[in-house]
Every structure is written in C-alpha cells, then in structure tokens.
Structure 1
C-alpha cells in the first residue's frame, strides 16, 4: 500500500494532483516534494520572462459574479486573505484612451501630465474640481474622478495574488466591514474572508454591489505573520499596477446610485 497518508493534503491540492497521480510519480521515482520543486522552479523561470501582474477579478453586474480576466473562470464568491488594500482614484475624460488623465494610488494626491509644462504634476484630490459632485463629463450628478478600493487577495492554492477593484457603490460596505475589524482590534490580514455580490435596482436599472464580507475563519498567529510578510511586496507592486479603463468602467451602469451612496458614506 502506498504511503500517501504521509503526503501533505494542502500540497496535493495546490499542485492540482490526485492521489493516483501522486502514486504514479512515486512509482517513477519522483517524490511529491521533488515534483513541487520542479513546478516551482519552472514558474519562477517563466515569471522572469514576463511582466508578471496580479490577475484581476472583474465584477459582472448581470450575473452578480466575478470573472477572472486571465482564465475566464466565473465565480459567485471569492475566498482568501487580504494582506493589503488601498484607496485609488482615476479620471478618464476622453473616449477610447487606455491611460487615465489623472490617477492617484493613495486617494490623496493625483498625478497628471501638464502639457504646457511638459512634465508630470501633482494635485490634491480633496480640492480637485473633478472630485466634486456634478463634475461628471456625461452630465450626471456624480464625480468625474472615481474613487475605488483595490484589494490584493491571496487565494488558497494560488501561486500569486489576485486583485479585486471595488467601484464607488461598494465602498460603503467595504469600509464598514474593515471598521468593524478595527473596532475589535483585528487586522484585516488576520482573517480569511469570503466576498460575494448582491443586486441593486433603480427603476429598470440593475447593478451589483459588494455584500458585507463574511469572516470564514481567523488565521493562526503563525499564518498571520506569514501573510503579513508579503505586505511590503504588494505595496510596491500596487504603485506599478496603474489603474486602467477597465477598472474605471467596472462601475458603469450604476451611476444613478453613486451620488446618493457616496453622500451617505461620507456622512455616516
């Protein structure tokens, strides 16, 4: 009988192997740990040849689901640990452009290119005219510059972090959830969470917003320390991972609710 009972079940799951496949490796003189090292070496080598970026989960409003931009996989829920998240803002004034006219990676200062001076400039988001209600270039009551939350998610079995960008209508729910953890003295990175969506409607208009995240479990102290160790790396990656048009347009279709939702969030 094989000694599969000695195998790490979590390692089998991470490698995507069945017990039968592990037995076949063993029969051919390759241990599970050796196989894992081979896979890890290949992944590291391939990652060095590309501009490796966190895979993004986008919100599909009609399906109340998340879709993986790299694999096409659709999920109703996402589960993992969020070692790092941050406020981000983006402004797109023209049609069909890939890069924002102005963007902010901390929600406090935006960076834009000044054509007259021929260099990048910074401006304070709090006093920017594009951060005012009614500045929507399409004539809406909302803001031209969208405020978002970008979450870096470590999913079980994944070899790299993924990203979920929350549009303006989901900010109140997320901020309330994190505030609850702060009240209890629990860091966000110390819990495994489950993210899902719910439908909102305004007349004939329907869109999806974040449901209040559920705590799946609290991590052990050792797990928390390991998760926290990747935070600095993710912070640096966040600065390189600029906001794209897809992030900006992710909330498209819910503009009618943005003004009321943001107003209630800021006054709460």
Structure 2
C-alpha cells in the first residue's frame, strides 16, 4: 500500500547530526519569572494574555505572529518547546463566532470537563461533523508553548488536527534518541498541501535543529515547569471564579 505524503514525512529521520547550541535564550539566563510577576502585579497569567499563532488558511506557508508594532510574518518559527497540550472542543453550531465558549471541551482529549471519557463520545467518531466528510464534530488540536531566544514569554502555536500526528511522531523520534522535548531547539515550518476534496491547507513540519547543553536543558525544564505552574494556577483560579 502506498504511503501518504504525511506518513512519509513523519517517518523520515534527519540525516545530519545535531550540533550543540550556545546559550542565547534570555529566559534561561535571567530571573524571568520575577519580571513576569512584576509586570502583571498579581494579575493572573491567563491564556488570553498570550500571543497566539493560528493555523493559516488556504495553505499559506508563513506564520502571522503578533508583535509590538503589529503582526509580523515568519517563514519559520524556532525555539524551545516548554510544554504542550492536546485539547479538544465541541460547538453545536457549524461555524461558531470566534470567542464563543464550546459546549464541551477537554484539556487532554481524554476526559471532558464533565469527567466523561472522550473515547465514548459520539462527537469523537469520524464522520460525525457533517456526515459527508470523515471529520469529527469535536475539534482536536495541539497547543504548543514555544520559547524564542529574544523573549521570556513563550508564544502559543495552535497546531490543527491535520498535523497532530506529525507532532506526535516528532516527539516519538526524540524519545527514541533519549532527548527531552525541552532539550532541543525545534524549528516549525509550513507546507502547502491538499486534502482528498482538493482543498488547500497548511501542513506543519517539526525539526530538531540544535541540541541544548545539559545545563541549558536543566534550566529550560525548570523554567518551563515553574512557568506552567503560574499559567495553570491562573486558569484554575479563573474556573473557580466562574
């Protein structure tokens, strides 16, 4: 059976050796969390405060990243993946207005916010979206917290379900090499492709371009854990207040 383009891409191992990288990540050499707390003045660090990079439409091969002077365009995004999540959400309308809360959601694609297993939900079945395609009504994605060299605040990159497997296979290859996700510099690029109905969309590619030193890896892991503790605590406080 002939492999699809996506399958060939995720199964291909990089042929070149990875070179150690010199430390130029300011978040790893400064007391970044103190600066974050000082600017926030005890306000919660909720997801709404992050710069979010969404999946482009129409098969575009460039990212649009919010900046101090407006949107900036990048052909690739490079940094340390501090953490990631695999959320899913269901709306009972086909085209919900942006910002509309979902009817049901899950932070890990396993258990819903009501404590029900996602695997048993009918909206998790292929073809449940509209009955005409093989799509699921419950929308899956990957949320990546990417730390760039010149910033102590990671950006959030939303990876659509069409590239979820590619990201998971990338993680698996790192596991095979006994490399933690926060121990490498990851480059993310886009490639234009088409689905079975001829519609163009953007396919995400992930590549480990450099290896962090053991000291940098330890700092990245510690910073990532402490940073996500602040984020998760903020989200928990918001949910308790609702």
Identify the TM-score tier after normalising by the shorter chain: 0.7 to 0.9
Out of 172, 183, 189, which is 1:196 matched to?
A: 189
Structure 1 counterpart of 2:56, from 60, 64, 69: 60
Structure 2 gaps, min length 5: 1-22, 237-242
Cα offsets for 1:59-115 (capped at 9, x unmatched): 22343111124541121100000021121111111333611111111221011xxxx
Tell me what 2:121 maps to.
128
Mark the structure with the bigger radius of gyration: 1
User: What corresponds to 1:245 in structure 2?
Assistant: none
2:101 pairs with one of 99, 102, 118: 99
Distance 1:10 1:128 in 2: 46
Q: What residue in structure 2 maps to residue 141 of structure 1?
A: 134
Unaligned runs of 5+ in 1: 1-8, 15-35, 112-120, 243-268
Contact map agreement 2:141 2:161 (CA 8 A) in 1: yes
Matched residues, number: 200
Q: Is residue 76 of structure 1 aligned with residue 70 of structure 2? A: no
169 and 92 in structure 1: CA distance in 2 versus 1, 3 angstrom threshold: same
Measured in 2, the distance between the counterparts of 1:160 and 1:126 equals 34
Alignment of 1:226-265 (within 5 A): 226-236=219-229, 237=231
Asked whether the equivalents of residues 84 and 234 of structure 1 are also in contact (C-alpha less than 8 Å), the reply is: no
Deviation (angstroms), 1:140: 3.2
CA distance 1:240–1:168, change in 2 (3 Å): farther
1:202-223 deviation line (CA, Å, top 9, x unaligned)? 4542110102x12221000110
Which has the larger helix fraction?
1
Q: CA RMSD in A?
A: 3.0
Between the aligned partners of 2:75 and 2:39, the Cα distance in structure 1 is: 30
- Contact kept, 8 Å, 1:155 with 1:161, in 2: the verdict is yes
TM-score by length of 1: 0.66
Contact 1:93 1:137 in 2 (8 A): no
* Structure showing greater relative contact order (alpha-carbon pairs closer than 8 Å, 6 or more residues apart): 2
